[in-house]
Amino acid sequence: MSFRPALLAITLAALAVPLLPSAAAYAQGQVEFGGMEHDTSDPVEVVSDTLEVNEEAGTAVFSGDVLVVQGEMRLSAATVRVEYTQQPDAAEGEEQEGNEIERLHASGGVVLTSGEDSAEAQEAVYTLATGEVVMTGDVLMTQGGNLLSGQTLRLNMETGNGIMEGRVRTTFSPGNGN
């Protein structure tokens, strides 16, 4: 009789071993996003219902069904505020350089997708120079059938690596290749 429980314990332990590496990574909150490296120097396209520009402040506010596209990355939200550097006026006879986008602040039902991965949050800040996206407020990330949730998700879009913080919870779907 004692042989069967021992055999069952060994069998269950053997079945659990393949899950350990991915479970440990998720328990630490480390994640991969997008399945590929993202080129943060790609052009940024923004589509919205309205646009309000404040040249003095160096901001542009897009509102109403906003969609931001850069390469394979898509970000949608109710409102996106773009902060950009203002280039000094060119000297007479010289060509003036364009303004460069520094940061995007998205709020209101933010959804970020890259490849087959997606993440939802209340807010997100994308800093183009570093390629970092920080999503905050009830973050839910979906990768295939796997779910990962927490309060803050920090993603490096150049490497596809990230970390989830704030009472991280995961749901694994064994056998779906993730």
pLDDT digits (tens, 9 = 90+) for 132-150: 999 999 999 998 888 999 9
* pTM of the shown model: 0.72
Whether the Cβ atoms of residue 169 and residue 140 lie closer than 8 Å to each other: no
| Beta bridge partner(s), residue 147 | 142, 171
Whole-Å CA distances, 6 to 1, 14, 17, 100? 9, 12, 17, 65
Residue 107 has pLDDT above 80, yes or no: yes
**pLDDT, tens only, 46-93:** 999 999 999 899 999 999 999 999 888 899 999 999 999 876 664 565
The three-point CA angle 27-129-52 to 5° equals 105
Residue 44 has pLDDT above 70, yes or no: yes
Specify the fold of 3-171: lipopolysaccharide transport protein A fold (2.60.450)
As a whole number of angstroms, the distance between CA 176 and CA 101 comes to 38
Both tokens assigned to 5 = 């429980």
Mean pLDDT of the 103-119 span: 93
Mean pLDDT of the 160-166 span: 91
More confident residue, 58 or 10: 58
Strand, coil or helix: 54: strand
